[in-house]
Amino acid sequence: MRAMGSKGKPKLTPKRRAFVEKVASGEAPTLAQAYRDTYSAEGFAPHALHVEASRLAKHPDVALCIEERRRVLDARSGAKVAGGKAYVLRRLREEADDMDSPANARINALSLLAKASGALEDAVDREAKRASASEAELLAELEARLSHLYPDIGAIDVSGDVIDAQDVQPEPAESPVSDEPDEA
């Protein structure tokens, strides 16, 4: 039989209460971080840490307390649990961190978190600009990149004209400077 505290809630150890608070409040971004912050987990391998954190979060008493604490915190902030942005982000972080979840679910959660955080916007914006760019704009970008990579070459033409190697003359080498006066 479960040990019940006052008001019919499960009675938790102080460390479990601290874990519940870190998870429910979002103070720790992942279950593993909440576990690491609460328990002495210095010698744990990352996988073992994830497994233990997931196991503890799924314990019936702990899971019940986490959900109850989230409801209280969400009610205080006026957010609706099912529709709040914080709730969605928290659930995505938990899914990404849950080693018991299938790999594709964790990857999808990470992908959604990356989109929500804007971590991929630069790459997406660049690709969208390239997709709608004219040929002249793409050639100008290519010339600028090549000039940056090879600054010693000088002007770079990527317009499509073929240049024979014999048409390209190397610049004359500078004559060596001598400390001796010229004899005339």
Kindly list the domain boundaries of the chain, sorted by start residue.
6-121, 133-167
Written as tens digits, the pLDDT of the chain (184 aa) is 456 655 667 889 999 999 999 999 888 888 999 999 999 888 889 889 999 999 999 999 999 999 999 888 877 776 454 456 777 788 888 888 888 888 898 888 888 888 877 777 766 677 777 788 888 887 888 777 777 777 777 666 666 554 555 555 556 656 555 555 555 4
Q: What is the dihedral of CA 174, 180, 181, 184, to 10 degrees?
A: -80
119/96 Cα distance (integer angstroms): 16
CB atoms closer than 10 angstroms to residue 22: 20
Q: Is the pTM of this model over 0.85?
A: no
